[in-house]
Structure 1
Amino acid sequence: MLRVVQDFLGLTRPMQDADGIACFTVNTAAGRIALNEILQNIRRTILLVDLDGSFWDPVRWPKRPLIVCQIPRLFSRLGRHRLFMMAYLTGRASEQLRSFGMLVRGVVAWCQFGAERWQDGKQVDLVPVPPGLEAAKSELDGTPYSVERKTHAVAVHWTAADVDSAVELLLTQQQTLADQHLLAYHPGNLVVELSPLGMSKKVSAACFARQFLPAEVIEGFVREFTPVEQGVYEQIWASLEASGTKFVPSLQSPYFIFVGDSAPDMGVFLLLDYLRGLGIPVLKVAVKGNNPYKPLEDLADIVVDGPAGALQFVRELELHTAPWWLRFLRRSLGHAA
């Protein structure tokens, strides 16, 4: 009888693009299958997200992002009560996220592209600071752009209003700077980041996924890395083991969702494509913004419209995992609960 009432009220419907219930469409058959699996097995789902450009608009001055105040509470609720894990994979430093109120209970933060990891108040540096970083930072003194100096990386920000030719010149200069000081070069959404050589979201995501899967599963993906990337991968994993991080080496039937918006996130999409090829349900969500990265959108299962669309996607994810009576209340109150 209870099931009949739920069906009548529409409380057991999957996510859909109808009646204002959701702000997205699942574009791929594999994505629809994965989403159905995820909603039925939510407590084995791992939600990994990018932050800048995905959940708030990128800004020229990185200390002043406009973060919707409900985001930290929503993410913490997902990590503590709904999902197996809620995690960030971001270029931000952990201290920056702390100042924004984004380091919350129930969330694991992989920061500076995975150079540092934060969980439950404990931060661990996973790779050494690159020796050429300080010299690269000093050469950025006097630049007209906004320079974000971090422990393991440096980023330069601009705005969508800046002249395209000036941005192209900036990118060329940063590529040269990276080559001179043996740093990795990562152009993103209104930002270019210089980080340890071999460090990328692709490498960090592989280490992240290895926490939940047998090592041999991830090794097939890692074999395609360059020797430098493999060295960073091994360094990160060794640091995780030395830090006493608790692993779940073989989580039964794990499910992965990733939300990202720019070129550095492509590496995570490649990992999810690899896992999908092994029969693991994954969902790739691309965020369309002021500076959309078309290859990411073309490979995504779901494309949402800007940070507001990404936030709505996560709200819908939580809404569909809550008890039926809470889903009814939240829909009635417009998700205000």
Structure 2
Amino acid sequence: MQRVVQFFLGLTRPMRDADGMACFTVRTTAGRIALNEILLNIRRTILLVDLDGSFWHPVRWPRRPLVLCQIPRLFSRLGRRRLFMMAYLTGRASEQLRSFGMLVRGVVAWCQFGAERWQDGQQVDLVPVPAGLEQANSELDGLPYSVERKTHAVATHWTADDDKKAVELLLDRHKSLADQHLLAYHPGNLVVELSPLGMSKKVSAACFARQFLPPEVMEGFVGEFSPVEQEVYEQIWASLEASGTTFVPSLQSPYFIYVGDSAPDMGVFLLLDYLRGLGIPVLKVAVKGYQPLEDLADIVVDGPAGALQFVRELELHTAPWWLRCLRRSFGHAA
């Protein structure tokens, strides 16, 4: 009887604003305004997410993450039926994502910090493999850590239980290799990565956003790039154009959401702050654990479970009214 009463009470709840989302707190006024705008214009919303550390816990052996089977289904559903676009911006290689089922219909994957792009079964390399990567790889042989070798990058993983001084030495070694072989150095959540010089999530996210905005909108942000970042930015954009990627610069008032958890995601948050300053509604979601990112966030969620719950709630608000009521009354399994 209680379930029946909850169902009919659910019929009276329109859930058209952020107050209907009870799984988190919007900490900023700008974030609350943006979320309400997003919920009213969900078909023009672009959800860009990090993966490792954001939707599953980092692991020492990168080929064995605990990816809940509901995650790719949820993301595919959002990309195909609910949002304007669902996309990843991740350090993972596309082949790795394929191996545990994350390359699904309706999702665009920007992999290896944006060095490669996957959509609808088609992969495009956006930048060349850095010349110093092979030598850096060889100098990481024999480490007592998990070394993840990819086409455009190499990442070394450890766990929270590893000796902190040993990890500091490991980070110093990678910084030295990056300087020596002209590679970019990216310390993250229990991982450190070396990638093409000038490549970062900040640069890739700028290229990603440029697909949906007039070129002049991005000029102020890109104008602050270093010369090498500017070169990579233009290189990625030229590769996108050459690949025949479809751009949507005429998308009327796009809305952006980003979910991230660690230092490499700071650049994306800075981009969203820039877009917010131009009057574009954006929402920054941080997974608890990295304080500088939390300080910039509109929403802070508790671990991968919190990030998944946020996306579930977002999908709940995009569903038809009758399905929203069923799910609200009987749980998200409906």
TM bucket, shorter chain: over 0.9
CA positional deviation for 1:163: 1.2
Task: Name the % identity.
Answer: 86
Task: Name the SS of the counterpart of 1:326 in structure 2.
Answer: helix
| Aligned equivalent of 2:4 | none
Whether contact under 8 Å (1:22, 1:312) holds in the other structure is no
Name the CA shift for 1:276/1:143 in 2 (closer, same or farther; >3 Å). same
Q: Distance in 2 between matches of 1:315 and 1:133?
A: 39
Whether contact under 8 Å (1:178, 1:184) holds in the other structure is yes
Which stretch shifts more, 100-109 or 322-331?
322-331
Whether contact under 8 Å (1:287, 1:304) holds in the other structure is yes
Whether contact under 8 Å (2:38, 2:281) holds in the other structure is yes
| Aligned equivalent of 1:328 | 325
| Aligned equivalent of 2:3 | none
| Aligned equivalent of 2:72 | 72
Whether contact under 8 Å (1:58, 1:189) holds in the other structure is yes
Whether contact under 8 Å (1:15, 1:320) holds in the other structure is no
Whether contact under 8 Å (1:6, 1:12) holds in the other structure is no
Task: Name the SS of the counterpart of 1:320 in structure 2.
Answer: helix
Task: Name the SS of the counterpart of 2:23 in structure 1.
Answer: coil
Whether contact under 8 Å (1:16, 1:25) holds in the other structure is no
| Aligned equivalent of 2:279 | 279
Matching residue's letter, 2:162: D
- In the alignment, does 2:60 pair up with 1:60? yes
| Aligned equivalent of 1:300 | 297
Q: Deviations over 1:107-138 (max 9, x none)?
A: 00000000000000000000000000000001
Q: Deviations over 1:296-321 (max 9, x none)?
A: 00010000000000000000000011
Unaligned runs of 5+ in 1: none
Q: Deviations over 1:88-124 (max 9, x none)?
A: 0000000000001000000000000000000000000
| Aligned equivalent of 1:117 | 117
Q: Distance in 2 between matches of 1:306 and 1:11?
A: 29
Matching residue's letter, 1:135: Q
Task: Name the SS of the counterpart of 2:193 in structure 1.
Answer: strand
| Aligned equivalent of 1:47 | 47
Q: Distance in 2 between matches of 1:150 and 1:74?
A: 27
CA positional deviation for 1:9: 2.7
| Aligned equivalent of 1:126 | 126
Q: Distance in 2 between matches of 1:14 and 1:230?
A: 39
Equivalent runs, 1:21-36 vs 2, <5 Å: 22-36=22-36
| Aligned equivalent of 2:5 | none
| Aligned equivalent of 1:314 | 311
Q: Distance in 1 between matches of 2:22 and 2:125?
A: 39
- The alignment yields a C-alpha RMSD, in angstroms, of 1.2
- In the alignment, does 2:194 pair up with 1:194? yes
List structure 1 runs of 4+ shifted beyond 4 angstroms.
Answer: 5-8
Task: Name the SS of the counterpart of 1:283 in structure 2.
Answer: strand
| Aligned equivalent of 2:227 | 227
Whether contact under 8 Å (2:108, 2:119) holds in the other structure is yes
| Aligned equivalent of 1:263 | 263
Unaligned runs of 5+ in 2: 1-7
Equivalent runs, 1:125-204 vs 2, <5 Å: 125-204=125-204
Q: Distance in 2 between matches of 1:166 and 1:14?
A: 48
Q: Deviations over 1:214-239 (max 9, x none)?
A: 00101110000000000000000000
Task: Name the SS of the counterpart of 2:318 in structure 1.
Answer: coil
Q: Deviations over 1:142-164 (max 9, x none)?
A: 00010000000000000011111
Task: Name the SS of the counterpart of 1:9 in structure 2.
Answer: coil
Task: Name the SS of the counterpart of 1:297 in structure 2.
Answer: helix
* TM-score between the two structures when normalised by the length of structure 2: 0.96
Q: Distance in 2 between matches of 1:165 and 1:22?
A: 41
Whether contact under 8 Å (1:15, 1:316) holds in the other structure is no
| Aligned equivalent of 1:251 | 251
Q: Distance in 1 between matches of 2:316 and 2:303?
A: 20
| Aligned equivalent of 1:107 | 107
CA positional deviation for 1:334: 1.3
Q: Distance in 2 between matches of 1:10 and 1:38?
A: 18
Whether contact under 8 Å (1:257, 1:284) holds in the other structure is yes
- In the alignment, does 2:8 pair up with 1:10? no
Task: Name the SS of the counterpart of 2:136 in structure 1.
Answer: helix
CA positional deviation for 1:12: 2.4
* TM-score between the two structures when normalised by the length of structure 1: 0.95
Q: Distance in 2 between matches of 1:305 and 1:164?
A: 24
CA positional deviation for 1:11: 3.5
How many residue pairs get aligned? The number is: 327
CA positional deviation for 1:250: 2.4
Q: Distance in 2 between matches of 1:13 and 1:39?
A: 6
